[in-house]
Amino acid sequence: MNMNREEIIAALSPDKDPAELFALADKVRRENVGDAVHLRGLIEFSNHCRRRCYYCGIRAGNARVRRYRLSPEQILDCARTAVRLNYKTIVMQSGEDPHYDPKALASILEAVKTETGLAITLSVGEHSREDYKLLRAAGADRFLLRFETSDRRLFSMLKPDSDYDTRFRCLAWLKEAGFQVGSGVMSGLPGQSLESMADDILLFKELELDMVGIGPFIANPDTPMAGAHNGTLEAALRMVALTRIVTVNTHIPATTAMGSIDPKGRQKALRCGANVLMPNISPAEHRSDYSLYPGKICVSEAPEDCAGCMDAMLKNLGRARAEGFGHSLKSIEASPR
Ligand code: 5AD
Ligand code: FES
């Protein structure tokens, strides 16, 4: 559905009652992507990171983090857990960990794909055009790379060792390599204007993304942004609703960050546009160390606990798990094997 920048800004404004917006987004979701919810098992396989993004708890140099890295065998075990819990997709996420370079990742992808046949999403940051091709050929189907904010000035304030244009070039390379591509932003960042949030949403559409993830910014006390104001759930939900209305058939998760600032955050997101959940399937002993922000949920649960919790959540909402892989509703590129 077309909305212009002014209309989006008006709908994002905190003065405006969001009830109508949320109802419209729920309707667009139902009519275009249906009632089924896709479960993507999240494996946080390394919290080592070479970057120093100011908002992020696993930034390089944060001595308070206990660093860990799962072995290839442990990653494969997580994938087996996903199969057991009847998830059809795993998301392999890490910091930008030089130990797991694309060659090392490729051999893990091949092993996981061959044994499990799961759909695989990577979320491992910025790499070269050639490396993205390598990862795609090794069996990864999808890739998540949030651009975090469309505001160039804010971007450079948040990500001191990243470049705005490079980030968008990576998104183009991912698409060229044949990935189903997801991106997204944080909402409620310090200094983020309604105008720039409207531009975020317009960019989601322009980039023809397959997936869009949005979560509230949550200030981490072990980062330079300690003490900053958190984003609100409501602002994040307005972003989700508008993203659904404007992009129509993208996959939109009810994110962990939403569930972390409000115990009903993910349920609310599923009722205003979201159609994906990302249950954590990382091993219990490392969960609390993937500490992007404080108050993260599911750190003391086992994979089966989150599966049960999510099934109960869906039942309560009158929704059900999706059956298939939940590939892009836009892209036609098939998995290489
Ligand atoms: N608050 C909320 N979200 C965060 N992320 C990283 N740090 C924070 C934080 N402090 C998000 C970023 C990143 C994703 C993996 O987690 O958007 O892309
Ligand atoms: Fe992990 Fe609810 S999803 S406990």
pLDDT of residue 337: 42
Q: Which of 37, 287, 298, 299 to mutate to test the pocket of ligand 2 (most atoms within 8 A of CB)?
A: 298
Do the domain assignments include residue 51?
yes
Sequence-distant (6+) residues with CB within 8 A of 278 are 39, 40, 41, 42, 91, 253, 255, 256
Do the domain assignments include residue 321?
no
The answer to whether 310 and 279 have CB atoms below 8 angstroms apart is: yes
How big is the chain by its Cα radius of gyration, in Å?
Answer: 18
Closest CA to 301 of 287, 311, 289, 290: 287
Do the domain assignments include residue 328?
no
Q: Are strands 211-216 and 276-277 parallel, antiparallel or unpaired?
A: unpaired
CATH number of the domain at 275, please.
3.20.20.70
pLDDT of residue 68: 98
Which amino acids bring their CB within 6 angstroms of ligand 1? 55-56, 146, 148, 186, 215, 217-218, 220, 257, 292-293
Do the domain assignments include residue 197?
yes
pLDDT of residue 34: 97
Task: Give the H or E element holding residue 206.
Answer: helix 194-206
pLDDT of residue 331: 58
DSSP letters of 5-22? HHHHHHHH-TTS--HHHH
Domain count, the chain: 1
Average pLDDT of each block of 10 consecutive residues along the chain (337 residues)?
96 98 98 98 98 98 97 98 98 98 98 98 98 98 98 98 97 98 98 98 98 98 98 98 98 98 98 98 96 97 97 98 96 48
Do the domain assignments include residue 267?
yes
Counting ligands in written order, the one closest to the CA of 159 is 1
What is the residue range of 120's domain?
A: 5-316
pLDDT of residue 334: 45
Beta bridge pairs of residue 80:
none
Closest CA to ligand 2's atom 4: 306
Tell the residue number behind the tokens 């307005």, with chain if given.
238
